[in-house]
Every structure is written in C-alpha cells, then in structure tokens.
Amino acid sequence: MNIQFKKGVLELCVLVLLDKQDRYGYELVQTISEQIAISEGTVYPLLRRMTKEDYCTTYLRESNEGPSRKYYRLTDKGRTYLRQLKEDWQAFIHGVHQILREGVHDE
C-alpha cells in the first residue's frame, strides 16, 4: 500500500482506539498490528507528534505485572480532530467503493 495513505490511516486507528479508553503504547501497537501489517516502531514517533500537537496527553500508571506504563489520553482537541478525520475517511471510502462498483459493471 502507498506510504502516505497508510500514514493517515495509522493516525486514524490510534485516535479511534484512544477514543474508547486510555491505552499504553504497547497495547496500541499490538491492537493495530493484529489487523494491519505495520512497522511497529513507527507508532511511537506518531504518538510523540500527536502529544506535541495536543491531541493527547500522557501519564504514568503502575502495573501489577511489572514496571509503570505510559498511558495516552485523548484531549478534546484530539476528539475534534478524530471527528474530522473520520468524516474524511468515510467520504474517501465511499468514493472508492463507488468507483469499484462502476468498474465492475462496465466489464
């Protein structure tokens, strides 16, 4: 798949996952890579950028199983951004779907 395209999709996935609940990095990476083939390490630069752009904040929380984990929490600004990205995505998917269907008809 095209790199630019995947980049935007990855951001959308992270935002959606954080919308439901706060998560730590490893959890985010695993949840996404169960569904899509990604270089897992690139999620961390993305999380840093999103934190710098105030789409999310971070906090540390102790874990029963080991050392404390860095959790990411979506901000209001992040939620607004997510809404907009979702709309863009749906319009895009709808357009592609339309073209695919028409292509099949013509054959």
Partner 1 sequence: MNREQFIDQLNRSLRRLPNEERLDIVQDFQEHFDIGLEKGKTEEEIAASLGSPAQIAKELLAVHYLDKAEAKTSAGNLFRAAWAAVGLGFFNIVIVLGPFIGLASLLLSGWAMGLSLLVSPLVVLLNLILSPKSFDLFASFASIGLAGLGILMSIGMSYVSRKALKGFVSYLRYNAKLVKGGLKHE
Query: Which residues lie near partner 1 (CB under 8 A)?
Result: 1, 3-4, 6-11, 24-26, 29, 33, 36-42, 44-49, 52, 65-67, 69-70
- Smallest separation (angstroms) from partner 1 to the CB of 9: 8
Residue among 49 and 101 whose Cβ is closer to partner 1: 49
Query: Toward partner 1, which CB reaches closer, 45 or 103?
Result: 45
Closest distance to partner 1 from the beta carbon of 57 (Å): 14
SS (H, E, C) the chain: CCHHHHHHHHHHHHHHHHHHCCEEHHHHHHHHHCCCCCCHHHHHHHHHHHHHCCCEEEEEEEECCEEEEEEEEECHHHHHHHHHHHHHHHHHHHHHHHHHHHHHHHC
